[in-house]
Every structure is written in C-alpha cells, then in structure tokens.
Chain A
Amino acid sequence: MDVKMNIGEALIDAVMGWAVVFLGIALLVLVVVLAGKLMSAKKPVPAVPAPASAPAPAAPQAQTPRAPGAAGELKLYDTPERDAAMVMAIVADELKIPINELRFISIREVRK
C-alpha cells in the first residue's frame, strides 16, 4: 500500500535514517574493536628470556629471521615500490633467470 507523506515527514525520516545508519555503524565499530582487543589479549605472549646475572659479551647484531628463500633486504633510493617491482621483473625476464634466484641489493633512480 502506498504511503503518502508530506515534505516535513520525509525530511525527518531522511535525517533519522542517516542517523540510524551512523549510530548502527558506530556501535558496530565499538563491537568489532572490542572483539579485536579481546582476541589480542588472549594471544599467548612470547616468553622473554630471563636477564643473565652477569652481562654477557656483546652478542652479534640481532636480526629479524628471514623467511626461507629470502634474498636479503633491498634498499630503495628515490624509487617507488611499484617501479622497483617492475625493474626486478624486467631484469629477471631479460636475464632469463627466475626472480627468486636473483638478489637485488639496491635500486636507485638515476636522473639526467
């Protein structure tokens, strides 16, 4: 059944509708953030080794363990990541060597 309405009612419904969407979304954000926090709180904290009683000799420089097959860190100078990815792909293609068998140390943009 068609519901006839005047402009005032329509305006109120429109404002209220948008407000309801915002309110619903705001509450949803709250719930999602809370759920995320709850889950991260339940994650087991990695065990921290107890400090040694005597200062140990200087350990070799701590490094993040690399993923298997990683070819080390690539340094970019004035080069966007996308361009670097393209350069690496082109080099691998030109050399006919799979990209995972190449190691790139750094890429620098040369301006003329």
Chain B
Amino acid sequence: MDILGTLKGLWMDSGFMGFFASGGWKSLIMIVVALVLLYLGIKKKFEPLLLVGIAFGTLLTNLPGAGLYHMAMWDAYVYECPYDAANEAILYDVEEERALTVEEYLARLPEDAQEPEIIEKLSFTDIAHIGGLLDILYIGVKAGIYPCLIFIGVGAMTDFGPLIANPKSFFLGAAAQFGVFFAFFGAVLLGFAGNQAAAIGIIGGADGPTAILTCMLLAPALLGPIAIAAYSYMALIPMIQPPIMRALTTKKERAVKMEQLREVSKTEKIVFPIVVAGFVILLLPSTAPLIGCLMFGNLLRETGVTERLSDVAQNALMNIVTLFLGISVGATTVAARFLTLNTLKIVLLGLIAFGFSTVGGLLVGKLMYKLSGGKINPLIGAAGVSAVPMAARVAQVEGQKANPSNFLLMHAMGPNVAGVIGSAIAAGFLIKVFG
C-alpha cells in the first residue's frame, strides 16, 4: 500500500487545496465575511434569528469542496440551459451570452474532464437528486415558499388593532415606501437593469420576506447581497432612524402626546384580514402570496377558535422556516457572485432606501400633524417603514426623550403594521411591472 500516495491524494482532494486554486482567495474573504456576520448576529444581536443562519450558510457554501450548494446548477435552472451534472457546468457561453448546444459543449470540454452527464432542462426533482443539502433547502426559496410561510407567522403575531382604531395610520405606511422607489431610481442611475433595481429598491420596505420573494422573482442572482443588506439594516434601525427623526422634526412636534386609541371589537379584528386580503388581492393580484399569507395568519390569531394553528404559525412553523430560509439564503453568497462592485452598490442603495423611507414617513407625519392641529406626533410616521416592532420602538424612545410622559408605542404600531401591507403592495407593483 502506498501510504505516501494515499496521504497525498487525501491532501489534494481536501478543501484546503481549494484555497490555492484559481480564485480560492475569494473563498477565504467570504469566510471572513461569514465570521463578521456571525459576530454581528451573536455578539451584537443584529437580527440574530436570521443573521446567524445566513452567516453560517455563507460559511458552508464557501468552504471549497463541500459541494452543499451548486451555483452553476441554479444558473442553469434560471436561464433554462442544459447542465452537465458530472462536471458541474452550465452549457452557456458567457461572452456570446447564449446557450451552447450539446455538440458545441462537448467540443470545448477539456480532455481530463469527467464523462458528461447532461440534463437538458433541470427540474426541482433533478435538483433534489443531484444537488447538495443547501440546494434542496434552497428549493423552498426558489419556489417562493419560505417567505410566504414566514408571512403566515408574521400575520399570526401581528395585532392590527391599532391600525383598525386609527385607519389614518395606513397613509404613513404608504408614505414610508418612498425609499423603495427612490432607491429603485438610484439603482437605475447606477447602471442596474430595471428588474434588478426593483429588487434592490424593495430593501427600503424593511421587510425581509418581501425583499426575498421580490428578489427571487426579479433578480435571483442578487439574492445574497440583498437579503444581507435588508436584514442588516433592519437590525440597524435604532441607529439609522433617530438622527433623521431629530433632523426633520422639532422638539415641540416630538413631544406631542396622542389621544388614547378607541377599543376595537373582536368582530372588527376578524373581518379585517378577510376584507384586506380580498380587496388588496383584487386590486393587485401579484400581492396574493404575501398579503394572502399575512392575512391568513392574522385570521388564525383573531378567530379565537384556531389557537393551536395560530400557536404553530407563530412558533414552530416560524422557527423552522426561519432556520431553512437563513441558511439557504446564506448559501447563495458564493464568493464569485458576491465579491463584486455590485454588492457594494447594493449595500449603499439599501442604506439610502432605509433612510428615504424614514424621510417619507416623517414628512407625511408632519403633514398630518399640521392637518390635525398638532394632535398627531410626526414621529410615528417613521414607524411606517415596517421592520415590526423595531421601528415602533424607536418612535416610542424618541418621543419619550422629548416628553418623558409620552407613550407612542401603540400609536406607532398602526403605521408599523401598515408598512407591512404597504411594502407588499409596493412589491406587488414592482413584480407586476418587471416580473
């Protein structure tokens, strides 16, 4: 037995050799990125439930040789090109931007390549057969299942009472979508295609599942950076929003105490999800997956006869899907795709989107302050950016700094949950136009 040869073979086949291969250094950088994200999630508690999963997915997918996620296979699926499973290659000419015929591909195949195993058109069944673990989990993202299941959980956890009690809050949820369209425009200025710009802009909706679903439908190649930007900025809301709030409002406005909200009956709470789902889906059918699931979850919560289902949606289902979603989104951050100038642009545009969404909500909040004769505290407009309940908490904290006896939390929850509906409508519009 050739012990030396066996050891050499083991070393040559190990993932460590991958770091010395062409472009291997990029994998090392991505591993550092994964460790930084893990630090932010664990130590700084930045959206840890998702960020830890995303970071670990990033780590796994960038370990050379692990083979848990195959970017080329998903490219073949998206662009409907033939795929060589044996050599993990897509039959596509990047320079000529066209699919290759099998004959052309075989002619270009190096001599030391493995016997090709070509699949003309990949299906989810093929992917389940030949893919790695993360490929299989990623099917849930690709099919748009995880974001919708998460929305059932979000609906089951959301109390729309403050919104029903004060329907004017809806307008603040709409106003705070300003950043979505501002960032969309900015992305086009920076050279992104319309569908990519739309996927980037929706980061401003401050709603993770909406951003993931929109991105998956419009620009799947950008999923990794967009998901990371969306969740990172959501975690940074307590740092992003307060300076903008203080810059755009006076102390007098921030100190406004709002009247107590009226009591909302159980019937109103039951009818609300049915009416909203029916109306919004009829108005914009492309919002059906998000609004339908959100309102279904909320109906489970409010009926009073489906406590078990509501409990599952809020806890077990939400946790399982969050787990799968995080790790499979992280898996898309393959070094070759992630370490580009576009990722930096997306990170910048995401910040702009969040900032301008806050500005939009605050400006309409100020308008409502004027129109109501000073009865509405404009700070609650900033909560319209969704990011439930973080943005509402920030409005509460800033309001209390201006007036220690101020309790804005329940008032801010109205625009906050309206922001979820507003961002779903914005996403529906963008999917309709660019999908």
Contacts and interface: CB of A to CB of B under 8 A. Distances in A.
A29 B167 contact: yes
A22 B429 CA distance: 12
Nearest to B405: A80
A22 B279 CA distance: 15
Nearest to A42: B267
Contacts of B267: 39
B348 to A, nearest CB: 17
Contacts of B77: none
A21 B429 contact: yes
B283 interface: yes
B194 A28 contact: no
In this complex, the interface size class of chain A, counting residues with CB under 8 Å from chain B, is: 20 to 34
A31 B279 contact: yes
Contact of A22 (B174, B194, B271, B276): B174
Interface string B146-169: 000000000000000000100110
Interface residues of B, number: 46
Interface stretch (A3-11, A51-59, A89-97, A99-107): A3-11
Contacts of B185: 10-11, 14
Contact of A10 (B164, B197, B283): B197
B46 interface: no
A2 B196 contact: yes
Interface string A78-98: 001110000000000000000
A16 to B, nearest CB: 8
Contacts of A36: 164, 167, 268
Nearest to B283: A24
A91 B280 CA distance: 51
Given A21-B174, A25-B173, A32-B272, A7 B405 contact: no
At the interface, is chain B mostly helix, strand, loop or mixed? Answer: helix
A20 interface: yes
Interface string B222-250: 00000000000000000000000000000
A32 B164 contact: yes
Interface in A16-73: 17-18, 20-22, 24-29, 31-33, 35-36, 39
Contacts of B433: 13, 17
B180 interface: yes
B182 A14 contact: yes
B86 to A, nearest CB: 29
A26 B194 CA distance: 27
B45 to A, nearest CB: 26
Interface in B403-432: 404-405, 407, 418, 421-422, 425-426, 429-430
A3 B195 contact: yes
Contact of B404 (A3, A10, A80): A80
A45 to B, nearest CB: 15
Given A5-B194, A14-B185, A29-B168, A21 B425 contact: yes
Nearest to B175: A22
A71 B54 CA distance: 53
A94 to B, nearest CB: 24
Contact of B170 (A10, A25, A39): A25
A103 to B, nearest CB: 24
B434 A22 contact: no
B268 A18 contact: no
B22 interface: no
A108 to B, nearest CB: 15
Contacts of B69: none
7 contacts: A2-B219, A3-B193, A24-B174, A25-B174, A28-B421, A29-B171, A36-B164
Given A10-B185, A33-B167, 5 more contacts: A5-B194, A7-B188, A18-B426, A21-B177, A29-B170
Q: Which 7 A-B pairs have the closest CB atoms?
A: A2-B193, A80-B405, A10-B188, A3-B194, A14-B181, A25-B174, A5-B194
